[in-house]
Amino acid sequence: MNVSPARRLALEILRQIEKGARASSALANLRADKPVDRRLATELVMGVLRNYRLLDYLIERFSTKKVDKFDAEVRLALRLGTYQLFCLDKVPEAAAVNESVNLTKLHCKSAAGLVNAILRKLSENKTHLAKDIIKLAPPIKYSHPDWLYERWQRFWGKEAEAIAAANNQTPQVTFRFNLLHPEVEQAMKTLEGLYEPGRLLSSACRLLPDAQRELLDSFVSKGACYIQDEASQFVAELVDARPGQTVLDLCAAPGGKTTLLAARMCNVGRLIACESDRSRFEILAAAVRRMQAKVELYCCDATAELPFEGIFFDRILVDAPCSGTGTLARNPDIRLHLRPEKLSELSSIQYKILCNAASRLAAGGRLIYATCSLEPEENEHVVEAFLASHKHLKLLTLQPDTGKALIRLWPHKDSTSGFFVAVFEIS
């Protein structure tokens, strides 16, 4: 059957994600013979995940049953075809239909006629349907769970729709140069003119849309560059790690902030990084090796007593496990799996980790708490509870011009992932 490798890979990865795999892990393990196939497969996977509710709405306009009642492969073939019809201008409509029909035949030949009929009707009515999309309720138009969007409306009012819309944009590729790597000067020379400085940090690099991604990827694979959201880099910079200090990074995988801390310390001093999950620990270890960072690695649970008796740290970073609702543009699969009851569970974990970290803070040191969540339960509420039980600590003013001690970064305002940051010091 004549099906493009990219579309075949995209369906396989989407099926893995439906079974519980993380999109980031599945795409990281994607094996394609040609870069163009890898790029298209990634675009298809991320596009379907960002638009799943909208795609289902469109499909059900011409289907006699709900999309979730179809066999998995049929459902995904329909979503892939519909996404290409409505969201990818460079894909001819005939190709979008025919490829999805052939993809269906690989898995469920009897459903090929149905898929063909639905996609052709969508193609024929595309102009009319595009007008209908504009009038849809935001949770469907931007494919967010109702409960999450309603929360944002309560907390952020009219900005909820702007946040949801920003989450459906493809984020600009952001990276940094690894100053610890011997080939960093060559990387800077080769990539000159292919990026622009970040909006928050001049050291953050935003790859220009027409730049050759393959050039960047070659230096990323060597360790001379690291792809990292600008907000994530911003958090690591707030740690203010310096050469000669003793620094602890809890919940450190996948290693972006850890290796940036090592670079700011010039590999001088003592940097310890912890991760509890074994598979993520291996990812962290690989990043540390590739980036030539001097880091002591521990696979340990940060909610339990930390294995650092007698060691006190000048800087401690708690980049806490969280819901990730600030990263829905980069991690759209979170929309499929997150449930509201998870927020209280996470806030309890975050509080425990923060308390354990505080027990190892040296006099004059700083404790940095960060999440990539937009939810108050994981941010302000955790900070309030922590300060109530740790009277010897106070918040550091992070924005002297406004007197604000807490920082929020927003997808729709800052063109980054959404992050929350608080910095504590001994009063």
pLDDT tens, position by position, 121-160: 999 999 999 999 999 999 999 999 999 999 999 999 999 9
Residues 409, 279 within the same domain: yes
Tell which of 136, 160, 186 closes a domain. Answer: 136
Average pLDDT over residues 231-253: 97
Tell which of 87, 115, 136 closes a domain. Answer: 136
**CA atoms of 408 and 155, how far apart (whole Å):** 14
pLDDT at 1: 65
Residues 187, 119 within the same domain: no
- Range name among 116-120, 189-193, 213-217, 368-372 with the lowest pLDDT average: 213-217
- Range name among 6-15, 25-34, 205-214 with the lowest pLDDT average: 25-34
Residue 183 φ/ψ region, left for φ over 0, alpha for ψ in the -120 to 50 degree band, beta for the rest? alpha
Task: Select the more confidently predicted residue: 61 or 32.
Answer: 61
Do the domain assignments include residue 129? yes
C-beta separation of 183 from 222 below 8 A: yes
CATH code for the domain of 361: 3.40.50.150
Tens of pLDDT along 303-342?
A: 999 999 999 999 999 999 999 999 999 999 999 999 999 9
Do the domain assignments include residue 332? yes
Q: What is the pTM of this model?
A: 0.94
**% of the chain with per-residue pLDDT over 70:** 100
Residues 215, 240 within the same domain: no
Tens of pLDDT along 199-211?
A: 999 999 999 998 9
Number of domain units in the chain: 3
Is the model's pLDDT at 297 over the cut of 90?
yes
pLDDT at 43: 95
Mean pLDDT of the chain: 95
The secondary structure of 184-226, three-state, reads HHHHHHHHCCCEEECCCCCCCEEECCCCCHHHHHHHHHHCCEE
Bridge partners of 393? 426
Regarding beta strands 406-409 and 419-426, do their DSSP bridges make them parallel or antiparallel, or are they unpaired?
A: antiparallel
Average pLDDT over residues 250-254: 96
Is the model's pLDDT at 213 over the cut of 70?
yes
Do the domain assignments include residue 255? yes
Tell which of 192, 227, 262 closes a domain. Answer: 227
**% of the chain with per-residue pLDDT over 90:** 91
pLDDT band at 286 (very low <50, low <70, confident <90, very high): very high
Q: Which domain holds residue 183?
A: 174-227
C-beta separation of 276 from 300 below 8 A: yes
pLDDT at 366: 97
Residues 100, 201 within the same domain: no
Is the model's pLDDT at 386 over the cut of 80?
yes
Do the domain assignments include residue 132? yes
Do the domain assignments include residue 313? yes
Residues 220, 366 within the same domain: no
**CA atoms of 423 and 401, how far apart (whole Å):** 17
CATH code for the domain of 28: 1.10.940.10
Residues 36, 79 within the same domain: yes
Residues 180, 280 within the same domain: no
pLDDT at 33: 79
Average pLDDT over residues 416-423: 97
Is the model's pLDDT at 399 over the cut of 90?
no
Residue 326 φ/ψ, nearest 5 degrees: -85, -5
Do the domain assignments include residue 204? yes
Residues 316, 414 within the same domain: yes
Residues 244, 379 within the same domain: yes
Residues 223, 244 within the same domain: no
Residues 289, 412 within the same domain: yes
Annotated active-site positions, please? 372
Residues 304, 212 within the same domain: no
Do the domain assignments include residue 149? no
Do the domain assignments include residue 160? no
